[in-house]
Structure 1
Amino acid sequence: MTPGALVADTLPGGAALSKPLTQSNFGPTQPETVGYLQPTSADTPLEVMHERYQRDGYLFMKHLPPKEKVIECRRAYFEHMAPSGLLKPGTDAVEGTYCGTDSRKYLPPGNLRRLFGIKDDPQSEKYAELMIGAHEADFYPKLTEIPELRAFVRKFTGWKRETMLQRSMLRAFVPNSELTPGHYDQMYLRAGPPTSLTAWVPIGPATEEQFKRDNHNLTDKERVSAFNKNMNDGGFLSCDVVEYGQQAKRKWLIIEYEAGDVIFNSRWMVHASCKNKDSEASIRLATDLRFVNPNEPYDTRWMRIYRLLDGV
């Protein structure tokens, strides 16, 4: 299980913050159910990278985009979000120090907010508005278009040119807030073949095969939806990641990470987030970027910038 991705929750001059997987929405995770991601350096031979990716379903790349560019995006994001009251007064925006109020007010826009009944709260609504708007802010493309990142995608895939799906997600999790339940990317990209590369533990395509059997009598529109009647509310595999890992008889994988690290995972890699238990009340910020070969079929629904409850 990866706690985040490209925009890691580190401070400008420090090492990665320790984020042990100690809790889910439904209780603690036992140490024996947790493993660790294997880091890969940029100078690793390409054939070794491919072998690891095929075997493990992920590549955890150290120091891929320049750290300073990632930190710059972090600062700009929290400056953008400051009018919502998200940050503790008097703190440096780049630290992303949480204001300390009811964390439910700062749930990400979408199904989690709906499930928790968050409405008619001006501060919370302002937060949702700013969070969605951040995906079109000037600072975001400066991160998503980092040459070192794009060059690695082309090198690893062998594509002459890469296209980033415009529906990407900036994810900010305040201390003790709800987490992202277990899911894998192809659940949401079913209108295209499983050929995308996500820059963000393995269960494999067997789960999707079960969904195919369950979905055989649905319409084409329902089949490609991650929110059809055979899925959990919110389009997730499970909201109890501890139980899911036990049933699947697999370990969740974690790692300490820092700005400049990237996790590339396969379309079938089941992943989720853990509780933000940072002792300094630092907000965890991450983004998931998905790349495709523009010369091959892909899920074109994802070429629209993220909008609240857009059905994708």
Structure 2
Amino acid sequence: MPHAATPPPSTPLYVNDGLLSPGQVGHLRPSSPGDPLDELRERYRNDGYLLLKGLLPRDDVLKAREAYFALLAPSGVLSPGTRPVEGIFDGTKDKLDYPGMSSSRNFDTYRRGAGSTDANGRPRGGLFVDLALQAHGEPWYKDEFCKHPALHSFVAKFTGWGDSTLGLTRSLLRNNTPHNKAIGVHYDQIFLRHGEDTSMTAWVPMGNVALDGGGLIYMEKGHELGREIEKDFYDRARRTGLSDAEAKDAFNQNMMSGGLLADGPKEFGEAHGRRWLVTEYEAGDVVLHTPYTIHASTINKDPRNVIRLGTDLRFVDSSRPYDTRWKNVYTFGDGV
């Protein structure tokens, strides 16, 4: 495969448990949406992901990015004198007052005031977290961006689901402010366990993301490992006499807080002898991945203090059983 013969990136890449070594890093393989569908499907099956360059119109992506940061601007997160579409973090502020949404449970923690507190004893996050939560239900996001016809039509053709293609309403619109905690190691079936394992995730970077800007990283052949982890647990659960429902509950209870396989990609990659595949993302790119594809993110070390913004959109075949808990807009404490 092309990325296998390419030297690893020279940019230092930090994750929650340290600096990835050069031998732990490879490149994501880019694809064009205009390539033959059969070729794209084969790459998706083999790699567990499909990085589609320029699937969405760049202007539409930047319009949504501008709306998001215009909404969050009253929280003081943006550097004075910069435009909302740039999403430049105010480096004079304490990063802990602007916690990134590494998971929905992470957001819920801050929303409840269970996170750290400032010098006056008030929960950190405050207005910033409230506005970031509010953005999930804004018409420009929920009704326009999440339902973009270019994405929906491509998924419908690529999967063969056609008119049965359904974009689930619940999504995770994640910001990642510089130097805050990154997303830990996981695969998405962990969060969609009340349906069949036939969903597809579209990760959409809402703006350019530099190599060290906190973008998603994908474990090489991680979809195969994810399936192995799932099967191994269920095999052991069945041997103990658990029903399918009990096994699902037990599986989730054995995950780390927030549904993670591990907090640190470095150690997880070393333990399984697999590299993390990375790339620079551009506004308009979309990554499709399977429900078992293992992924995480780097810590945002962008030297310009650009806030990484991206969203997880899930698609299902509505003619098949799917996790109906994802039919509603993400709200604080929805428990999913």
Q: Into which bin does the TM-score normalised by the smaller protein fall?
A: 0.7 to 0.9
Q: Secondary structure at the match of 1:204?
A: helix
Matches within 5 A, 1:79-118: 79-100=70-91, 101-108=93-100, 110-112=104-106, 114=109, 117-118=115-116
2:187 to 184, 187, 197: 184
In the alignment, what sits opposite 2:152?
150
Matches within 5 A, 1:48-67: 48-67=39-58
Cα 1:32–1:288 shift into 2, 3 Å: same
Structure 2 regions of 5+ residues with no counterpart?
1-8, 204-218
Q: Secondary structure at the match of 1:32?
A: helix
Between the aligned residues of both structures, percent identity stands at 42
In 2, Cα distance between equivalents of 1:35 and 1:225: 35
In 2, Cα distance between equivalents of 1:226 and 1:270: 20
Q: CA deviation at 1:122?
A: 6.4
Q: Secondary structure at the match of 2:50?
A: strand
In 2, Cα distance between equivalents of 1:189 and 1:47: 27
CA contact (8 A) 2:172 2:312 kept: yes
Q: Secondary structure at the match of 2:198?
A: coil
Q: What RMSD, in angstroms, separates the aligned Cα atoms of the two structures?
A: 2.2
The residue identity in structure 1 corresponding to 2:140 is F
1:298 lines up with 2:322 in the alignment: yes
In 1, Cα distance between equivalents of 2:11 and 2:90: 23
Indicate the structure whose relative CO is greater, using CA pairs within 8 Å and at least 6 residues apart: 1
TM-score computed with the length of structure 2 as normaliser: 0.82
In the alignment, what sits opposite 1:8?
none
Q: What do the CA deviations read for 1:185-224 (whole angstroms, capped 9, x no partner)?
A: 1111111111111102213300111332455566766644
Q: Could you tell which deviates more after superposition, 49-58 or 100-109?
A: 100-109
In 2, Cα distance between equivalents of 1:24 and 1:34: 12
Q: Secondary structure at the match of 1:205?
A: helix
Q: Secondary structure at the match of 2:312?
A: strand
Q: CA deviation at 1:43?
A: 1.6
Structure 1 regions of 5+ residues with no counterpart?
1-17
Q: Secondary structure at the match of 2:294?
A: coil
Q: CA deviation at 1:25?
A: 1.6
Cα 1:192–1:149 shift into 2, 3 Å: same
In the alignment, what sits opposite 2:274?
250
1:240 lines up with 2:264 in the alignment: yes
TM-score computed with the length of structure 1 as normaliser: 0.88
CA contact (8 A) 2:185 2:261 kept: yes
Cα 1:151–1:165 shift into 2, 3 Å: same
The residue identity in structure 2 corresponding to 1:36 is H
In the alignment, what sits opposite 2:138?
137
In the alignment, what sits opposite 1:264?
288
In the alignment, what sits opposite 2:234?
212
Q: Secondary structure at the match of 1:74?
A: helix
Structure with more of its chain in helix, by fraction: 2
Residue correspondences, number: 295
Q: What do the CA deviations read for 1:28-52 (whole angstroms, capped 9, x no partner)?
A: 1001111111111122111101110
In the alignment, what sits opposite 2:25?
34
Cα 1:283–1:66 shift into 2, 3 Å: same
In 2, Cα distance between equivalents of 1:83 and 1:222: 45
